[in-house]
Amino acid sequence: MLRLGRREFDAHEPVIMAIVNRTPDSFYDQGATFLDEPALARVEQAVAEGAAIIDVGGVKAGPGEEVSATEEARRTVGFVAEVRRRFPDVIISVDTWRASVGEAVCEAGADLLNDAWGGVDPGLAEVAARYRVGLVCTHAGGAEPRTRPHRVTYDDVMADILRVTVGLAERAVALGVPRESVMIDPGHDFGKNTRHSLEATRRLGEMVGTGWPVLVSLSNKDFVGETLDQPVKERLVGTLATTAVSAWLGAQVYRVHEVAETRQVLDMVASIAGHRPPAVARRGLA
């Protein structure tokens, strides 16, 4: 059972986390939801299309202009409060590595802290424990926030992913984060080259086998682009193929830009696996 905010999800229930970037320079939407009204419209659309979680980010993941903790909080805290007011039942996640920002957004109503940089600030898990909110524990290969990998190597990339993410998850629970609200994430592209991310996908079942719910953040990432030699805006098909494989291998939570398309893929895989009946079943019955 995965429990986040007011919601509970069975082990075979796929969950969509919709990305809402409060940044002027995000790699995919290039600032489309930087302003409040477009961002709130994006939340409304994502919820209507089937997202259970809204993931709010105030800092671009890649290199760029420096964003202080104060500025990150300015971009996210008030927005979290407004989303909480307008959508009381939605699960609000905030993508941050900073404990100070984590505390501020939890005060504003966040249900989940998405630590995409692998515990670089140990205080973030302490914040999650203090506020009894969820935590995403991610493998970033020891990379510093907002840096790109350079000739990174692993003896066994999945072994390293398991060591780091399970270790972070166990520490979080020891601190007081509810066990049913902790997820692990292989961190596609973070501290990894394309071959590492492909191997992490291929061996995702090993993460699922730990018993921790697995979150994957695949949407339009560079490993998809390099695998298919496609620019950012042409990576949807590759993303959805990777999503289907990840779903078949047992991942539960999907951080995405395209909610409606992802919902169809996850529903189809769940029906093939026998976890979901067809929405309509008339063929051969007339």
60 is catalytic: no
- Asked if 165 and 173 count as a contact pair (C-beta separation under 8 A), the reply is no
Neighbouring residues of 172: CB distance < 8 A, sequence distance ≥ 6: 125, 128, 129, 135, 137, 182
Active-site annotation holds for 221:
yes
Options 84, 221, 233, 276, the catalytic residue: 221
* CA neighbor of 79 nearest in space, from 95, 62, 97, 100: 95
Catalytic residue among 146, 255, 263, 276: 255
Cβ atoms within 10 Å of 40's Cβ, excluding its own: 17
Q: Copy the structure tokens of residue 129.
A: 């424990």
Residue 106 contacts by C-beta under 8 Å, 6 or more apart in sequence? 113, 127, 128, 131, 133
List the Cα angle 211/91/210 in 5-degree steps: 5
Residue positions annotated with a catalytic role: 221, 255
